[in-house]
Amino acid sequence: MPGTIENNCAGKRFKALDSGLPFLASQAAIELDNLLLGRNVDLKAVTQLAERLERSTEQVAGTEDRKSLMDPATISVFSNAIAESGIERVQTLAELASGAWKIARELQGSREDSDKQRIGRLKTFCTYLAQSAVAHERALYEMQSANNNWS
Amino acid sequence: MLPLTYARRRIRAVLEEIGRLKDSDFPYSHSRDALEQLDRLFQERLTSLESLTGQNDPGVIKTACSESLLQVFKYLPLLGFILRSTNIRNSFEIFGPLLRLARQVLGPDIKLIVSSEWEYSPHVYKPIQDLPGYVLLGLPACESGNPLLVPLAGHELGHTTWQLRKLADDFEPAISNGIEEQVRAQEGQYKDLFGGDLDDLFVAQNLAPAHLWALRQSEESFCDFLGVRIFAESYLLAFAYLTTPGIKRRSELYPNMKDRVRNLLRASSTFGVDPPSEFANWFIDESTPTSNEKERFLLKIADIARSSVVDNLIARANLIASESHVPGREHKKIDAVLSAFKLLTPAASVGDVVNILNAAWQAFDDEHLWKRVVEDRIDILNELVLKSIEILEFEERTRQTE
């Protein structure tokens, strides 16, 4: 099924160029918002987003540090979301990778998390991530439309 | 909240339109199948929007509305494309042979939609990411009945191949490395333009356009190579028909035309394809699309990074076509088709569409063919080609039922 949670997530890394990212991030924000409102939610999108974020970093051998596996477009979308939401302070690629890993872990634990402020921050991050991904996809589409030079 | 009300109404309008389109008379089922998938996509958006209430965070609501608006923006043109697939201006004869070709390369579940475009550009829709398993071929409306442009389908098949086989993942590391090498080699110029060190977070963001352009240029190049590999000379001629001599302004998403042609000739040489002797001279040079120094720098390194993977792209196109056992161009079969055409009869027992199309182009270029016998040579040729393709389809279906 196109553009759906199921279609987007199996085995995938976090990539800005995946057109399912805007909906996934938006759905994750809705789920966290509903969680804060005390509604019954399944957190499917939250889990899928967390898995994708986890797979976008890898551990640096022999250390606790993380290394980013994101391509530049994804780095751009993700770091915009981090900066706008203020969820983590990120100045370097290494901090970006650590931030992605930390957010992934927090998303995974959100159902059992009693810290409403943390859930709120995660919700804000997912909201900005969706906005950043929407803007990126719109820009790509406009670039493609403006550059139809025979494809 | 009004944005939410408007967003819900917009999605319902799209769903109603999809409902109307489903009642169209489609020549084959794949168009309707695509509509079903899009229907599910928009139903999911509506369900999500309808689940939101006034208690939800306004930022979350607005973001959901924005995302749903993006889908309308993306998919409305595609719905038009699907509607136009019913139009009799399209050559329905080509559907069967092209579908078989697509399935040889990409597997038995691939679907095909052939339609027309009111832009002068054969098109594959980038939203194919959300319609995996579809090849969408749209020829310019004024040429949608011209069978000599069917070889361009090889390029469009390349886009679906690139996506389904995840070739971007394969070539991305080399492109990223190429870009990084170029930036380090031109560190002074980079710092003058962008400031900062080469090891900070912002380098990745600054270089993101170069990365995107190099990746897209590589995809376009791969599609050209697959087109040449499958359709041989007929691809080069169809390409030239549509694009020569070119328009002065270059796009960042494609190699410069001179580069593109040079690479086509390189691929032709690898595949044993014979281009016209003056092929390279048919095309004009294109100007850089921007005077912005940063963008010129980024485009330069993107071009270099893409150039570094061209040989591998050619090899990959060759491998994919070989593994798929796509029928090659055979001079004996082309001669047999031409012999039939000379007698003003369609060809039979050809076995594949590639050789029919190569013969068609040879006939097109032969100004002496039917001289003083027919008035409109090209109209007659088009009819013979379409009839030959129809016979091919009939023979194949008969073979399958035996």
Between A18 and B276, where is the model more confident? B276
- Considering only CB atoms, which chain B residues are within 8 Å of A141? 73-74, 126
pLDDT tops 50 at residue B93: yes
* pLDDT for res A119: 95
- Whether residue A94 lies within 8 A of chain B, CB to CB, comes out as no
Question: Partners of B136 in the beta sheet?
Answer: B113
Q: Which of A60-69, B246-255, B278-287, B391-400 has the lowest mean pLDDT?
A: B246-255
Among B67, B81, B143, B261, the residue to mutate for chain A (most A Cβ within 10 A) = B67
Whether B82 and B116 have beta carbons less than 8 Å apart is answered as no
Please state whether B110 falls in left (phi above 0), alpha (psi between -120 and 50) or beta.
beta
Q: Where are the alpha helices (DSSP H) in B195-249?
A: 201-231, 233-243
Q: What is the mean pLDDT of residues B93-111?
A: 93
Average pLDDT over residues B306-328: 96
**Predicted confidence (pLDDT) per residue in B148-179, tens digit:** 999 999 998 999 999 999 999 999 999 999 99
Tokens 């797979």 sit at which residue?
A55
**Per-chain mean pLDDT for chain B:** 91
Residues 116-155 of B with CB under 8 A from A: 119, 121-124, 126-127, 129-132, 155
More confident residue, B259 or B196: B259
pLDDT in tens, chain A (151 residues): 444 454 444 456 777 767 689 999 999 999 999 999 999 899 999 999 999 999 999 998 999 888 888 888 888 899 999 999 988 888 888 899 999 999 999 999 998 888 999 999 999 999 999 999 999 988 888 777 766 555 4
State which of B147-161, B310-324, B363-377 shows the largest mean pLDDT.
B310-324
Give contacts of B44 with chain A, Cβ < 8 Å. 1, 3-4
Mean pLDDT of B39-44: 96
Chain A residues in contact with B131 by the CB 8 A cut-off are 2
DSSP output for B18-73: HHHHTTS--SSTHHHHHHHHHHHHHHHHHHHHHH--TTS-HHHHHHHHHHHHHHHH
Contacts of B66 (CB under 8 A, 6+ apart): A130, A131, A134
d(CA B113, CA A52): 32
Q: How far is CA B210 from the centre of its chain?
A: 22
Q: Chain B closest CA to A15's CA: distance in Å?
A: 11
List the Cα angle A61/A65/A69 in 5-degree steps: 80
Report d(CA B326, CA B349) in Å as an integer: 17
Q: Say if residues B116 and B144 touch (Cβ distance below 8 Å).
A: yes
Give the pLDDT score at B133: 87
Enumerate the residues of chain A whose CB falls inside 8 A of the CB of residue B252: 143, 147
pLDDT of A8 reads: 45
B200 at A interface, C-beta within 8 A: yes
Per DSSP bridges, beta strands B134-140 and A66-68 are unpaired
